[in-house]
Amino acid sequence: MNKKLTRALFAGMVLLASSAAWAETQVKYDKPDEFTDLPFDQTKRDSVLKDLTAHFEKLGQSLPSGQNLQINVTDIDLAGREEPRLRGISDLRIMNGRVDWPRMRLHYVLSQQDGKVISSSDAALSDMSYLSRINRYANDDPLRYEKLMLDDWFASTFGVKVELTR
């Protein structure tokens, strides 16, 4: 009995010690009311920011343990254009593939757990071929084009393989 208790306590201590080494991702939005293109409806705006935050956090899980990522989003321009004249019960977003590709501006800081900065930069993301690319996200995901753009940026910037996130 004593051996089992010792093993359980040891396993718990290992888990506790390793939890401090997990990667952490923090996302902030700088003046989201001034972003180029978010839904008109405040509830939908909040939902978009919440979904993007969750996606950034999911991507951050692929970073090596002990690294922290801080992201400050300074502008978002979603794929397509919301048509105010076609608004009804739900907003309608029209995508024509011309000048309505998704764009995002952000600043990131990747640091180690002790605060030592590994890399830091401003980034201007865009995907001009968003309608002609194979997209692994479901058609009913309203942010599928933005998520694919973020996946590409994350993989090329941090050199990690990005798995499909849902």
Tell me whether residue 69 is in a domain.
yes
**Domain presence at residue 147:** yes
DSSP of 113-150:
TTS-EEEEEEEEEE-TTTTTS---S-TT-TTHHHHHHH
- Give the model's confidence band at 150: pLDDT under 50 very low, under 70 low, under 90 confident, else very high: very high
Q: CA 64, 151, 109 angle in degrees (round to 5)?
A: 50
In a domain, 18, yes or no: no
Is 165 inside any structural domain?
no
Whether residue 6 is contained in a domain is answered as no
Does 7 reside within a domain?
A: no
Burial environment of residue 104 by CB neighbours within 10 A (0 to 12, 13 to 18, 19 or more): buried
Q: Is residue 14 part of a domain?
A: no
163 inside domain: no
| Model pLDDT for residues 98-128, shown as the tens digit of each residue | 778 999 999 999 999 888 999 999 999 999 9
Average pLDDT, the chain: 84
Radius of gyration of the chain (CA): 20
Q: What is the pLDDT of residue 90?
A: 61
Distance CA 22, CA 56 (A): 15
On the CB side of 165, how many CA atoms lie within 13 Å of its CA? 25
As for how many domains the chain has, the answer is 1
Range of the domain at 52: 23-157
Condensed to tens digits (0 to 9), the pLDDT of residues 10-38 reads 544 444 444 445 679 999 999 999 999 99
Amino acid at 1: M
